[in-house]
A and B are shown apart, each in its own frame.
Chain A
Amino acid sequence: MTSAEIATQLKTQFGDLISGPAEFRGELTLTLADAERIAEVCSALKKNFGCDYLVDISSIDNYGEDPRWTIVYHFYGYEHHQPLRLKTSVSEEKSELPTVTTIWRTADWHEREIYDMMGIRFRGHPDLRRILMWEGYPYFPLRKDFPLAGKSSDLPEVGFSRPSPMAGGPFVTIAGGKDTISREPRVRIPETDALATTNRVERRADIKDAHGEGKGPGPIEPKK
């Protein structure tokens, strides 16, 4: 079965819904008129036409035109070794179409990426979250009205944890201490700069302040 045969048979099955194929550089492109039926067409492609491999889903922003979004699906069949491209359009008001994750599980991340980059939602997707940008990022960077230089936005709360036990550099040694315990390498606490004092008891208190009670390293109290 060649790509052209698949295209013809798909057209007979779905009638006016599918238009094309347009050929360019030996590649066939079909156009689906109603994006709501994409899952149905994809399911037929996989079951009846052996397109078991979903190569890629990409999206195009036709900024200033209506409909604004074009979703491009690339299929391939490992049996017949024929590629096929299917395009469908979604208006900006709607910005939503059915998911194909139930047909190919690889669609999961492709659809998440499109949602992340373009802001097009996939109805029925099991886990439609941002994937490349962080959760809570307010823009959709691949849209044509998003500037190349980017827009400023708030970074998420990254520093949520306390200073790690070795924060500020390990192995800081105080030379000239009176015994081995006070001379041994230990953590430098940036906030309090515990090393400013050579008094063991004070330093212990500083470390407790920085790390919390009973946490973090500190010199071992010598036995009395």
Chain B
Amino acid sequence: MPEVRDIQIPEPGARVAAASDELQDMQGEKMVLNMGPSHPATHGVLRIVLELDGEIITKAAPDVGYLHRGDEKIAENMTYTQFIPYTDRLDYLAPLANNVAYALAVEKLMGIDKQLPPRCQYIRVICCELARISAHLLGMGAFALDIGAITVFLHTFTEREKLYNLFEALTGARFTTSYTRIGGLSRDLPPGWVEQCRKFLEEVVVNFDETETFLTRNKIFTDRTQGVGVVSREDAIDFGLTGPNLRGSNVNFDMRKAHPYLIYDQLEFDVPYGTTGDAYDRYLIRIEEMRQSVRIVRQCLDKLPGGPVNVPDMKVILPPKERVLTKMEELIHHFINVTQGVNAPPGEIYFAAENPKGELGFYINSKGGGTPYRMKIRSPSFVNLSIMSHLLPGHMVSDITAILGSFDFVMGECDR
């Protein structure tokens, strides 16, 4: 039983001395704090075990895997086409970009990535960039929400809702789009979609400006983010950071520029990159990337060519239904494509796309046939998070939300 004593109120001078004595005693006394896996600032199910000295982090051990579903194992046991819906669930904030990256990886393995019809390539670029806007809008909104600016989140979510309407019109699903197919797309653009998209682009640009008025020169926001979570250029490369997190640390590298896939080499856009590598730089880069994405989508809509959206090879894509029902050859192709999958040659490829979160890579090792022998998904969030145990120590507990928010990771992709 604790002893009950009267409260003693010492003189103010003595109180300060006693407090400083007490603080000195406390030094070196560490406390272990468990953050997550269900914490609003960890964007899903990231768990970080923190060791604290007062409010200063002395050690941080991220613990991932709470959302592990064994996607790589699943991929080994199904055809290439059957795996497309699983790619929706990697970075579930930009499913369209994952669909495109995965389809391009399999097409590279089959050697048909250069034969895609122009219309297909343009639509895929539009999908990638709209997905980037969608992912950054959420990432930025959640970042601001984590450090106290709730309005931004609601503001960016409004635009995201319009994007979801566009995705629904395009793919039939708002969230899990599964839009691409090996060798093409599941369907062409619906009528009137281009106009809807143009209208959206006009509106979203205004939203970017408004969002910036909330944050960019906001004293509270800059105080919370400038000089916080600084990643040096050397560390960023050493830890394999990619995407906006790498570019924030003064590395001018973008897969779309360095190794252009689809028609990115025919489009005009700039790659923003930061100078200091702090949380504020990463925020500025995401804002600018969205503006560049709007620029890219506008160019694509202007130049959008006609023609088919699938490669003309019935051994790769599903033949049209009316021909399946009337022609023997197409019936066989349809049957083989559905039951055994597209026939990929033996070999191994690595394809990486510049996704909203960073470099999403697929390493496919094929022994021939319709299923991969081994498929490794190099997910940007997984690699980006590995720097946390190096980056967090020395920061205050309240900086964690700013740092995690600025890194903009998705656990579905991290844990696969």
Contacts and interface: CB of A to CB of B under 8 A. Distances in A.
A219 interface: no
Interface residues on B, range: 35 or more
Interface of A: 24-25, 27, 29, 52-56, 58, 60-61, 72, 74, 78, 81, 83, 85, 104-106, 108-110, 113, 117, 130-134, 141-142, 146, 148
A56 B361 contact: yes
A83 B350 contact: yes
Interface string B253-279: 100001100000000000000000000
A104 B240 CA distance: 8
Contacts of B111: 25
Given A74-B350, A109-B386, A53 B68 contact: no
B254 to A, nearest CB: 11
A55 B240 contact: yes
A26 to B, nearest CB: 9
A53 B352 contact: no
Contact of B349 (A25, A60, A81, A131): A25
**Chain B contact residues: helix, strand, loop or mixed:** mixed
A61 B237 contact: no
B317 to A, nearest CB: 20
B363 A72 contact: yes
B68 A133 contact: yes
B109 A25 contact: yes
B274 to A, nearest CB: 16
Nearest to B111: A25
Contacts of A55: 240, 350, 352, 359, 361, 378
Interface of B: 64-65, 68, 70, 72-74, 77, 108-109, 111, 237-240, 251, 253, 258-259, 347-350, 352, 359, 361, 363, 365, 373-374, 376, 378, 382-383, 385-386, 390, 415-416
Which of B240, B363, B386 is most buried by chain A, counting CB atoms within 10 A of its CB? Answer: B240
Contacts of A53: 237, 240
Contacts of A72: 348, 363, 365, 376
Which of A52, A58, A81, A142 is most buried by chain B, counting CB atoms within 10 A of its CB? Answer: A58
Contacts of A85: 348, 350
Contact of B240 (A29, A58, A106, A142): A106
A55 B72 CA distance: 18
A109 B77 contact: no
Given A78-B253, A109-B382, A142-B73, A56 B65 contact: no
Contacts of A131: 64-65
A132 B73 contact: no
Contact of A106 (B73, B347, B374, B383): B383
Contacts of A117: 72
A142 B375 CA distance: 11
Contacts of A24: 347-349
A53 to B, nearest CB: 6
Given A25-B111, A56-B363, A74-B350, A132 B65 contact: yes
B237 A60 contact: no
Nearest to A61: B374
Contacts of B109: 25
**Chain A contact residues: helix, strand, loop or mixed:** mixed
29 contacts: A24-B349, A25-B347, A27-B350, A53-B240, A54-B240, A55-B240, A55-B361, A56-B350, A56-B361, A56-B378, A58-B363, A58-B376, A60-B365, A61-B374, A72-B348, A72-B365, A74-B361, A74-B378, A83-B350, A105-B238, A105-B239, A106-B386, A109-B383, A109-B385, A113-B382, A117-B72, A131-B65, A142-B72, A148-B77
Contacts of A141: 70, 73
Contacts of A142: 72-73
Which of B108, B111, B383 is most buried by chain A, counting CB atoms within 10 A of its CB? Answer: B383
A60 B359 CA distance: 22
Contacts of B378: 55-56, 58, 74
A99 to B, nearest CB: 14
Nearest to A106: B240
Contacts of B74: 148
Top-6 shortest CB links A-B? A106-B240, A58-B376, A132-B65, A109-B386, A56-B378, A132-B68
B348 A56 contact: no
Contacts of B64: 131-132
B61 to A, nearest CB: 9
Nearest to A117: B72
A60 B65 contact: no
A113 B68 CA distance: 12
B264 to A, nearest CB: 15
A71 to B, nearest CB: 11
Contacts of B108: 25
Given A56-B361, A72-B363, A105 B349 contact: no
A117 B416 CA distance: 12
Contacts of B239: 105-106
Given A55-B240, A106-B238, A132-B416, 9 more contacts: A24-B349, A27-B349, A74-B363, A104-B238, A109-B383, A109-B386, A132-B415, A141-B70, A142-B73
Contacts of B238: 52, 104-106
Contacts of B365: 60, 72
Contacts of B251: 78
